[in-house]
Each structure stands twice: as structure tokens, then as C-alpha cells.
Chains A and B, each alone.
Chain A
Amino acid sequence: MADVLSRYDVLGAFWTTIQLAVLSSVGALLLGTLVAVLRVSPIRVLQLLGTGYVNTFRNTPLTLLMVFSLLGATYILGLSLAADIGANAFRWAVVMLSVYHAAFVCEALRSGVNTVPIGQAEAARSIGLTFGQSLREVILPQAFRGAVAPLGSVLIALIKNTTVAAVIGVSDAAGLMSEVVENETGTVSVFLVFALGFVVLTLPLGILFTSLSRRLAVRR
């Protein structure tokens, strides 16, 4: 088993997975926060926009988004993100992973917003803070602390969902696994090695987020 895998760049493939995960989680966090702000804003049109975003992307299969980014966006609409085919696929994968998981980040954050007592928002407005100020100074900091656990779950889901990027040719762990299976025939040990790789990535994160959620929780 070891000699089979030594012929493949397993670490390189997992490095691509990590790059995908880090870039997409930053993108998802930024976009998701923005959508959450839209959803809790007092303006009806913005609320509808946020709700529409979440309902669209939370209910679309990620594989579909991924394949659309190439067959639809790149080839038919001509929206290429890089001249090089590999870089284009990688960037689209980051975009689609961000867009998809932003919907889940938004909902996690909104659950965090709900942990902040309504009296605090009212107090913030009554001392003259604008909506933006009260959000920035009072609501969101507490919302993030209350949403650490669900955000951790979204991040773990995102890391595992990076495997979907293989369908548009990104050379991540899942892509390498299909190569190994093609050449060496699929055995349980091949699957176990790749599964173990993901456990190594996600298990410490799960533990970290559980302890963070305990330490950061706002005591009320």
C-alpha cells in the first residue's frame, strides 16, 4: 500500500484541498456575513434579496453549481477566470464553494444574531447608534461568538465538499483518488488512506470549534 501511494503526490493533492478550503472559507465567511446583514436589515427589499440568495444556493446541489461554472459560465457565457485551464477551474471551484457555503454561513450567523437579546438592539438604537453602528458594535460581535459551533460545522462541511471540485478537473485529493483507483484498481485501503486524510483535516477543527464555542460564548 505504502509503495503504491509513494508513486503519487498525495501530499500535493491534499495541499490543493487545503488551498481550496482556506480560500473558499474566507470567501464564504465574507459573503455569508454580507447576506446575513441583508437578512436582518430593516429594509424589506434587502431582506428579500438575502432570503432569495439563501433559498437559491442552499437548495441547489453543489455538483450542479460546479459543472455549471464550466459548461455554462466558462464555455457558453465565456466567463473565463484565467487563461490557463487549470487555474480557471481552480478559481471557479473557489467561487462556487464560497457562493454555496455563504448561504449556510448566513444562516449560522442569523442563529447567532437571535442569541442577542432584542433589548440590546433597542438600547443601541435608543442611544443614537445607526443600524450599521449597532450591528458593528453591539450585535455582530456577540452574534459571531454565539455562532461559533454552527460555523465550525459549516467549515467542516466545506472541507469535505472540496472533493466536488474534482468534477471540473481540479487536482485535489478526490481527483488523485480517482487516478489511483483507475491505475491500481479500487481497494478498501486506498479509500481508507484518503478518508484518513480528511479526518486528519477535520477532526482537530471539530475539537477546536467545540472548545472555542464554550470559551467564547457570551454568558447571560
Chain B
Amino acid sequence: MIVRRIRAALAVSAAACLALAACGGGSSAGSAGAGSSGGGAGLKIGIKFDQPGLGLKQGEKYTGMDVDVATYVAGKLGTDASKITWIQAPSAQRETLLSTGQVDLVVATYSITDARKQKVSFAGPYFVAGQDLLVRSDETAITGPDTLAGKKLCSVKGSTSAQKVKDKYPGVQLQELGTYSECVAALVSKGVDALTTDDTILAGYAAQDQYKGKLKVVGKTFSTERYGIGLKKGDAAMCQKVTDAIKAMVSDGSWQKTVDANLGAAGYKAGAGNPPTPDACA
């Protein structure tokens, strides 16, 4: 009696599993179809939620350059801003989010690299950033990476910026923390002398209300980070549309406007190579 009941329960749950799987498969296929045909069915876009000036979530409001670029591109793809679903895309999860179809696009300070190109496709670059230094505004001794000897520098554990400093400037004392916000806190409390990562991220922090006037970006980049829009691997049609959208954004002036609006407050000027010409889609 009990055995029969258990069997029945198993059968029911197995059927439920199948039904769910079918539903899941169906809906994702549907949204992918709508996305590639440029319909108004909505887009799921992965952005950073914690990067002021680039992708920041405050309550239900999303602000930053990446958000503006994504909204513009979505508009060119025929998706109204109200139909965009914003999804948090932390650095370590961006490839997985794309390959499993949880997001259609990733616009999240996503540098185009060869290692990543093996997992996802990129459209862009839509911005060329570079590794730079953020210091307190009364700092005069640090003018670039070569003046860092003996100084305390902060960056995020495992990040490309931290690794580059370790390899290229071994004389620097590098403190690695979990997030850039912690580094900024350490910088303001004079625990470290400088913070290093992409100049866009630094400019975003320097422009935040609570740090206005206290921090400055040195403005001497020592690397090139080409931010692209991540797409599902091999989606050439989508890549072409997004590339055209980026080109249109640069040529009609919206690109300059959004850079000034989001990063300009701290006196930041987009470095060499901007505005960029997007690569041809492979």
C-alpha cells in the first residue's frame, strides 16, 4: 500500500518535472526568437548593479553609462526601455549568463579578450577604457604608475588590474580587497595611497556625491580595456545589429552626451581611442 503510494508520488513528480522542463525550453526558445527578429518582446540585459557611473541600481532606478548604452542599443533593436529586464551580471558570471540564455546582452564593463571570445561573442567596443590610478585630491607625489614605489596601492582580489600591477610594478605594496567600494573607503581613511582599476570605474567613484572633491583620477592610463557588448556565441545577426546601433550612437552625438552625463562630473575626459570604431562581426 505504502509502496504503491510512493510510486504514484514519484510518477506525479516526474511528470511535473517533464512539464516544467518543457515549459522552460519553450519560453527560452520563444524569447530568443523574438530577440533575434528584433521584436518588441523585451530584452534581458546583464549589467553591474554596484558600479557608480557605469551600472548602478538604486531602489528601482538604474543609472550609468552601461545602462544608457544598453537602453540605446535596445531601442535600435526595437525594444522599448520599459520592456528591458535588468539582470545583475557579476564579473565571474557573465559568460554563464550568456551561454545559458539567462540574458540576451551583457553590458557590464566587459573587456573584449581572446580568452572570453572562445566562450561568447562581442559587439563593439563601445568604449575604450584604461587602467589608471585614483588618489586623494591633495596627493601630489603620485603622478603615474612609475611614482608608486613604496606606496600602498589597493585593488580587487584576483582582478586583471591587480594582476597587472603585481607583474609590472613589483616594488608596489598591493593591498587586495573584496570590492572597489572597500578600496575607496581605505583610500579615504588614508589606509592606502591609491586605488587602481579601469579609469571609468575610478571616475564613477570620484563623481559620487559623498566623495566629490576628495578624490581625483590621475589620468595616465597604462593599459587598454576595450568594453564590448557580450552576446551569445556565434549570433552574427544580433552582433551586426548591435554594432550598427553603437555606430549610430557615436555618430548622432548620444554617445558623447551619455559619457559626459555619467562620468564627466569628476572632470574625467574619455582617453585616447574614444569614441571607438566597433570591430567587424566575425
Contacts and interface: CB of A to CB of B under 8 A. Distances in A.
User: Do A and B share a complex?
Assistant: yes
A71 B189 contact: yes
A85 B152 contact: yes
B160 interface: yes
Contacts of A168: 176-178
A85 B173 contact: yes
A181 B93 CA distance: 9
Interface string A167-191: 1110000011111011111100000
A85 B148 CA distance: 15
Given A67-B182, A166-B157, A186 B93 contact: yes
A175 B186 contact: no
B95 A182 contact: no
Nearest to B119: A185
A61 to B, nearest CB: 13
B95 A185 contact: yes
Contacts of B178: 67, 166-168
B257 interface: no
A182 B111 CA distance: 11
A85 B189 contact: no
Contact of B157 (A85, A178, A185, A186): A178
Contact of A75 (B158, B176, B190): B190
Contacts of A182: 91-92, 158-160, 163
Nearest to B160: A182
Interface residues of A, number: 25
Nearest to A74: B191
B36 interface: no
B152 A183 contact: no
A89 interface: yes
B175 interface: yes
Contacts of B91: 182
Given A182-B92, A182-B160, A71 B174 contact: no
Given A85-B174, A175-B176, A75 B160 contact: no
Nearest to A166: B157
B29 interface: no
Nearest to A75: B191
B163 A179 contact: yes
A12 to B, nearest CB: 14
Interface of B: 91-93, 95-96, 115-116, 118-119, 152, 157-160, 163, 173-178, 182, 185-186, 189-192
24 contacts: A70-B177, A70-B186, A75-B186, A75-B192, A84-B173, A85-B173, A86-B174, A166-B157, A167-B157, A168-B176, A168-B177, A168-B178, A169-B174, A169-B175, A169-B177, A178-B92, A179-B163, A181-B92, A182-B91, A182-B92, A182-B159, A183-B115, A185-B118, A185-B119
Give 5 closest A-B pairs by Cβ, nearest first.
A75-B191, A178-B158, A169-B176, A167-B178, A179-B158
Given A75-B189, A177-B158, A183-B163, 18 more contacts: A67-B177, A70-B177, A71-B189, A75-B190, A75-B191, A84-B173, A86-B174, A89-B175, A166-B158, A176-B158, A179-B158, A181-B92, A182-B91, A182-B160, A185-B95, A185-B115, A186-B92, A186-B93
